[in-house]
Amino acid sequence: MNLHEYQAKQIFAQYGIPIPRGRVAANPAEAKQIAEELGGKVVVKSQVLVGGRGKAGGIRLAKSSQEAEELATLILGMEIKGLPVRKVLVDEAVSIEKEIYLGITNDRSSRRPVLMASAEGGVDIEEVASRSPEKIIKILIDPLLGLREYQSRDIAVSIDLPKPFWRSFIALAESLWRVYRESDATLVEINPLVITKDQRLLALDGKMSIDDNALFRHADLAEKRDLDIEAPAEIEARKYGLSYIKLDGEIGCMVNGAGLAMATMDIIKLYGGAPANFLDIGGGAGADKVAAALRIILSDPHVKAVLINIFGGITRCDEVARGILSAIGEVKPSVPMVVRLVGTNAEEGRRLLADAHMLTAETLVEAAQKSVQVALGGAL
């Protein structure tokens, strides 16, 4: 789960990381009010969860509160990469001497957190990483020891930070580490961290991603989820504990298990079709969950056929069959469905579905071939 810049910076500030004065506004009048309080010269920043806000014209400098109001009107009417701008952050404008990058993320291959810093902040860090990887300094952190002071000092030296800033930089890095640890973040990033003309360190921008699996111990953070970035069907699926991702194809898929769900999508492609979604009903799904899954799949108007592939282990095929019957009784689908049930209680499941006018398949290949054929309008 990703947080907005203003949310991330509020959390940074709680941990003592210096951020610019400013507040978030939902309308132009509020933006004007905030700009007046800050003395007129402000930056108006769109709050959307995509990169490239600046390039899209979503971050603008205002010289007066009047101009801040005008820019807020403009930006609040924008869509950036398909996402509507619902809020703007109005921050005091500062004079910048130097821009630094500082972030902590999970390094999957070393199985540790990694602290990253670069003297070339302010731009897309992935661009720096591919163009000149030696300009990004990385230090692995032992999860049992935490970030040590010497490591932050090494970073300060490596990015040629002037000596007078070392002490505040080390404190800031320690604070960022605590944000990462105590929020169960998978990414905390300050880009840019600036040295201002009046010789202060300031976190001008902020980014945070939180581990979805850890939200049970962060109710306050879970509330901050922005539903704009998710398709309505994905939000509906999460309510039922289903893992659903919408894709562009025409064959809806319902599968138990993430790996098998991907393999089912792949084999549809192999036989000339395209999957309309990824959908994992998980292990041991009951009839209610299955019915919800089928409703979600059928709510996609592009779906021309449905492939249900269940390998019963903990999941019982008869339960799946009951869920299918309940959903088709309610939705009355007009598209053909291919069902493959294998494993626990598969015979019982097949018997339940015998009168439901569904196509059946024994093997994965047969299931894929049949669903592609009926989706393309062929008869079987």
Partner 1 sequence: MSILINKQSRVVVQGITGHEGSFHAQQMLAYGTNVVAGVTPGKGGEWVLDGKVPVFDSVKVAVEATGANVSVIFVPARFAADAIFEAADSGVPLIFCITEGIPVQDMMAVRAYLDQKGVRLVGPNCPGALTPGEAKVGIIPGNIAIPGDIGVVSRSGTLTYEVLYALKLHGMGASTCVGIGGDPINGTSFIDALSLFEADPYTERVILIGEIGGSDEEKAAEYISRHMTKPVVAFIAGQTAPPGKRMGHAGAIIEGGSGTAADKIHALNNAGVRVARHPEEIPALLQG
Q: Which is nearer to partner 1, 106 or 158 (CB)?
A: 106
Q: Which is nearer to partner 1, 316 or 322 (CB)?
A: 316
Closer to partner 1 by Cβ: residue 97 or 142: 142
Q: Are 41 and 62 in contact (CB under 8 A)?
A: yes
8 A C-beta contact, residue 117 and residue 62? no
Catalytic residue selected from 67, 69, 92, 189 = 189
DSSP 377: T
Is the bond preceding residue 333 a cis peptide, omega within 30 degrees?
no
* Cis status of the peptide bond prior to 192, with omega within 30 of 0: yes
User: Does residue 283 interact with partner 1 by CB under 8 A?
Assistant: yes
Distance, in Å, from the CA atom of 4 to the CA atom of 233, rounded to the nearest integer, reads: 22
Q: Per-residue x/- mask for partner 1, residues 224 to 243, rule CB under 8 A?
A: -------------------x
- Residue among 101, 180, 240, 244 flagged as catalytic: 101
Give the DSSP letter string of 20-40. -SEEEESSHHHHHHHHHHTTS
User: Smallest distance, Å, CB 339 to partner 1?
Assistant: 16
**15, 165, 166, 278: which one contacts partner 1 (CB under 8 A)?**
278
250 catalytically annotated: no
- If we measure between CA atoms, which residue out of 2, 103, 110, 91 comes closest to residue 42? 91
Q: Does 261 engage in binding with partner 1 (CB under 8 A)?
A: yes
Q: Which is nearer to partner 1, 29 or 270 (CB)?
A: 270
State the nearest-atom distance from the C-beta of 316 to partner 1, in Å. 12
**266 or 347, CB closer to partner 1?**
266
The encoded tokens of residue 158 equal 């490596």
Answer for which of 79, 217, 329, 330 binds partner 1 (CB under 8 A) is 217
Question: What gap in Å lies between CA 139 and CA 189, rounded to an integer?
Answer: 15
Tokens for 60, please give them: 């603008």
- Assess 211 for contact with partner 1 (CB under 8 A): yes
Which tokens belong to 366? 């047969």
CA 279/CA 243 separation, integer angstroms: 6
Q: x-or-dash pattern for partner 1, window 44-83, by CB under 8 A?
A: ----------------------------------------
In the list 82, 198, 219, 259, the residue contacting partner 1 (rule: CB under 8 A) is 259
Which residues are within 8 A (CB) of 3 and not within 5 positions of it... i.e. 6 or more apart? Answer: 11, 207, 208, 209, 210, 221, 224
Can you tell me the distance from the alpha carbon of 46 to that of 67, in angstroms, rounded to the nearest whole number?
15
Quick check: is 189 catalytic?
yes
Structure tokens that stand for 369 in this block: 């071939």
Kindly state the smallest distance separating residue 288's Cβ from partner 1, in Å.
17
Compute the least distance from the CB of residue 303 to partner 1, in Å: 16
Max alpha carbon distance in the chain (Å)?
80
Between 95 and 213, CB nearer to partner 1: 213
- With binding defined as CB under 8 A, does residue 143 bind partner 1? yes
Pick 1 or 93: Cβ nearer partner 1: 1
Q: Which stretch binds partner 1 (CB under 8 A): 33-41, 151-159, 267-275, 320-328?
A: 267-275
348 lies in the binding site for partner 1 (CB under 8 A) = no
Distance (Å, whole) CA 270 – CA 129: 35
- Radius of gyration over alpha carbons of the chain, in Å? 26
Active site residues: 101, 189
Q: Which residues bind partner 1 (CB under 8 A)?
A: 106, 108-109, 111-113, 126, 142-144, 181, 184, 186, 211, 213-214, 216-217, 243, 245, 247, 255-263, 265-270, 274-275, 278, 280, 283, 311-314, 342-344, 363-365, 368
